[in-house]
């Protein structure tokens, strides 16, 4: 293996590791944010369960959108 090929392989490995770390970070962040949002909604709503329910549905839709984008990122890599 030539030095040029070795450098190319090392560069590819570096970028692959970077993308994997980024995807893991985004994924963890989205799950964490959903948890925080749900907790805040529950604490602020009091007895208004219907408001919580609508907000939870919106939050779940938001998470589904994020997960679709994550799948696109993974597909690109």
Model's pTM, two decimal places?
Answer: 0.34
> Is-contact 70 27, C-beta < 8 A?
yes
Q: What is the pLDDT along the chain (77 residues), one digit of tens a residue?
A: 788 888 877 777 776 666 666 666 666 666 666 666 666 656 655 555 555 555 555 666 666 666 666 666 566 54
- Domain residue ranges of the chain, discontinuous segments joined by +: 3-76
Q: What is the DSSP letter of 2?
A: -
Q: What is the DSSP string of 29-66?
A: HHHHHHHHHHHHHHHHHTT-HHHHHHHHHHHHHHHHHH
User: Which pLDDT score, from 0 to 100, does residue 13 have?
Assistant: 75
> Is-contact 23 76, C-beta < 8 A?
no
């Amino acid at each position: 293996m030539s030095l040029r090929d070795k450098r190319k392989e090392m560069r590819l490995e570096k970028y692959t590791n970077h993308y994997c770390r980024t995807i893991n970070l985004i994924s963890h962040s989205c799950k964490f944010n959903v948890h925080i949002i749900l907790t805040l909604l529950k604490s602020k709503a009091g007895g208004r369960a219907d408001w919580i329910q609508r907000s939870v549905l919106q939050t779940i839709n938001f998470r589904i959108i994020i997960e679709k984008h994550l799948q696109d990122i993974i597909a690109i890599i």
